[in-house]
Amino acid sequence: MDKLQIEGGSRLAGEVRVSGAKNAALPILCASLLTPEPLALTNVPKLNDVRTMRALLSQMGVAQHDGDGFITLDAARIDWPLAPYELVKTMRASILALGPLLARCGEARVSLPGGCAIGLRPVDQHVKGLQAMGAEIDMAHGYINARAARLRGTTYVFDVVTVTGTENLMMAATLADGVTTLENAAREPEIIDLAQCLVRMGARISGAGSDRIVIEGVARLHAAEHAIMPDRIETGTFLAAAAATHGDVVVTNADASSLTAVIDKLREAGAHIDTNATSITVRGNGALRAASVRTAPFPAFPTDMQAQFMALATLAEGASVITETIFENRMMHVQELRRLGADIEVEGNAAVVRGVARLTGANVMATDLRASACLVIAGLVADGETTIDRIYHLDRGYECIEDKLSALGARIRRVS
């Protein structure tokens, strides 16, 4: 199993390019199931989650072709409308195949995702929404079995704001009979990116990015090309790392408008940030100050940046209160940060982080994707060597992170 070794103390400086967004690429790969014609994608990140999703689509019969900087997915035939447990258990986003398979094939069998390191993460909203569109769904032997000769448009009000739930129903509705209105929909930028791709494929969608999305079903979708949006969480991770190390970094292929809440909080914490259309410059040359954050659905502070922000807060002057409202168990990094000398108290879903003068390197264990990124940032600022175990979590969602950080001057290496 690979580990990362980091010798702390380097100030990050230079330019880093952000990859395509994992959480936009995963639903968009599934959108290929909706049409018998090819979908060509660019800016697809090279990540383990993307490989897993492609393997899943391959098993279903989706032909794939890798070109120079693009991939083409061709679902002319779908042999197996099935997402088996073996793949779903490694990646919950496999649930995104449910809506497209049902809409295109009239049937789908998708394993129920099991437990997850960061919370319970039920999929009841995906199931209820499809039932409201006329699907017959039963659960047996750990699988969701869904059937519908043709889904029909309806109005569905989500009980909770769910990103992949919104994406699943939006994809299913593109081929439904009539108009579907999704109320209390998630507003994340990845939903807009998916909607733009679907519209290029011939779907009729309005309101993506608001909490009310209207989809007018069509008989068929067609071939299209689409470039995946830049990864806003990777962007935010580099901004936090640069600020924490008092660095001077230009993050390119970045969209500041998708990251306003994070940029505001980094500024509050003392970082100097300038934005333009495609890049963000961060300078962290003054002392860090405490800043409190509360995670919530977009446009509020993203849960996927909570852990990385906490790493920064460990060295800020004063006490930051970091409240997690999306997932019940997303504070696993706290124990590991404490091993590096951080002063953090957790009460319920809030962590009180009191800034310390320094962190000291130690062996730590990554528990999930964003917790891993948090530990990388902490390792960069800790005195001495930090070794991070179980970094396969990191490889699910960050493309070549150690190469990108090395190019910025970090002393970081992967060891087997």
Helices (H), 245-354: 260-268, 306-313, 333-339
> Distance between CA atoms of 71 and 68, rounded to whole angstroms?
8
In terms of Cβ atoms closer than 10 Å to its own Cβ (0-12, 13-18, 19+), residue 23 is buried
231 is a site residue for ligand EPU (CB under 6 A): no
279-283 β-sheet, strand order: 13-17, 248-252, 279-283, 272-275
DSSP-derived letter for residue 65 is: E
**AA letter at 380:** L
36 is a site residue for ligand EPU (CB under 6 A): no
User: Containing H/E element for 195?
Assistant: helix 189-200
Q: 287 vs 13, 143, 382, CA distance in Å?
A: 17, 52, 16
Cα dihedral: 314, 318, 324, 330 (round 10): 20
- Helix H, strand E, coil C: the string for 347-401 is ECCEEEEECCCCCECCEEECCCHHHHHHHHHHHHHCECEEEEECCHHHHHHCCCH
168 is a site residue for ligand EPU (CB under 6 A): no
51 is a site residue for ligand EPU (CB under 6 A): no
369 is a site residue for ligand EPU (CB under 6 A): yes
Which residue number, 128 or 272, has a Cβ lying nearer to ligand EPU? 128
123 is a site residue for ligand EPU (CB under 6 A): yes
194 is a site residue for ligand EPU (CB under 6 A): no
| Binding residue for ligand EPU, selected from 86, 124, 274, 343, defined by CB under 6 A | 124
Find the shortest distance in angstroms from Cβ 48 to ligand EPU.
12
Q: 271 vs 7, 148, 246, CA distance in Å?
A: 23, 53, 8
Structure tokens at 224: 């299209």
Find the shortest distance in angstroms from Cβ 144 to ligand EPU.
12
126 is a site residue for ligand EPU (CB under 6 A): yes
395 is a site residue for ligand EPU (CB under 6 A): no
| Binding residue for ligand EPU, selected from 99, 165, 247, 270, defined by CB under 6 A | 165
411-415 β-sheet, strand order: 363-365, 385-389, 3-7, 411-415
> Distance between CA atoms of 289 and 267, rounded to whole angstroms?
9
| Binding residue for ligand EPU, selected from 52, 162, 245, 386, defined by CB under 6 A | 162
Find the shortest distance in angstroms from Cβ 319 to ligand EPU.
26
265 is a site residue for ligand EPU (CB under 6 A): no
62 is a site residue for ligand EPU (CB under 6 A): no
Find the shortest distance in angstroms from Cβ 246 to ligand EPU.
27
308 is a site residue for ligand EPU (CB under 6 A): no
> Distance between CA atoms of 315 and 241, rounded to whole angstroms?
12
| Binding residue for ligand EPU, selected from 157, 160, 345, 358, defined by CB under 6 A | 160
12 is a site residue for ligand EPU (CB under 6 A): no
Size of the site for ligand EPU (CB under 6 A): 25
Which residue number, 71 or 118, has a Cβ lying nearer to ligand EPU? 118
Sign of CA dihedral 108, 132, 38, 65: negative
For 98, residues 6+ apart whose C-beta sits below 8 A from its C-beta are 83, 108, 110, 126, 130, 144, 146, 168, 172
Q: How far is CA 167 from the centre of its chain?
A: 13
Q: How far is CA 263 from the centre of its chain?
A: 18
Catalytic residues: 116
Q: Which stretch binds ligand EPU (CB under 6 A): 103-111, 115-123, 177-185, 262-270?
A: 115-123
| Binding residue for ligand EPU, selected from 78, 198, 326, 359, defined by CB under 6 A | 326
| Binding residue for ligand EPU, selected from 125, 174, 281, 306, defined by CB under 6 A | 125
327 is a site residue for ligand EPU (CB under 6 A): yes
Find the shortest distance in angstroms from Cβ 397 to ligand EPU.
6
> Distance between CA atoms of 413 and 386, rounded to whole angstroms?
11
Which residue number, 8 or 156, has a Cβ lying nearer to ligand EPU? 156
| Binding residue for ligand EPU, selected from 74, 231, 234, 304, defined by CB under 6 A | 304
Q: Which stretch binds ligand EPU (CB under 6 A): 53-61, 70-78, 132-140, 161-169?
A: 161-169
Residue ranges in contact with ligand EPU by CB under 6 A? 23, 26, 93, 119-126, 160, 162-165, 186, 302-304, 326-327, 369-370, 397
